[in-house]
Amino acid sequence: MLLNHWFSLPMSIGFWLMNFLFLLTAIPYLGTISTIGTIGVITTTSVSFNIFGVYFTSPFGNVWFDLLVGSVLLGLGIAVLLTQRFSNGGIGFAALAISRQRHADPGKTLLWMNGCIFILTACVIDWMIIIQALLCQWISTSIVSWLYSASFPTKPLYVWRGRKGG
């Protein structure tokens, strides 16, 4: 948002550029495959910004309902990405790295990091957008924390049985 505000750079391009540059430094930690996967995720997100911003409008017309649904979907998506060692971008990677180093909850780490960025953005642009963004982050990172720390059964639903001895 800040790049868009200061330089009129489309948000999708600013999002992709900042995350791409940040992820170049992440290759030693994430590995090449995870970094490429994460770059794929941020590219998909950037393209989605443009597609949904131009071609779709909310069928509900209520920003608070949209915020709730979007936050839940965002939290589910980030949790899936983190469990697969991908991230939703540079800040997601940094939150995962810090949480592993300090043995902290990745959702809470992500909330604090994004919170600092949002406060800076609020001072420069508009507080109402940031209040909505903070609420979105709180909901989505709560879902990330809950899913990331949840214990799911690892036993397959159906077990193949082979014959012994032959």
Tens digits of pLDDT across the chain (166 residues) = 778 888 888 888 888 888 887 777 667 766 777 778 778 888 888 888 788 777 877 777 788 888 898 889 888 888 887 777 666 666 767 777 777 778 888 778 877 887 788 788 888 887 887 788 889 888 988 998 888 777 655 554 444 445 454 4
Give me the DSSP letters along 18-68. HHHHHHHTTHHHH-HHHHHHHHHHHHHHHHHHHHHHHH---SS--HHHHHH
Please state the domain count of the chain: 1
Domain region containing 98: 2-149
Residue 97 covered by a domain:
yes
Q: Is residue 154 part of a domain?
A: no
In a domain, 166, yes or no: no
Kindly report the pTM of this predicted structure.
0.60
Say if 159 falls within a structural domain: no
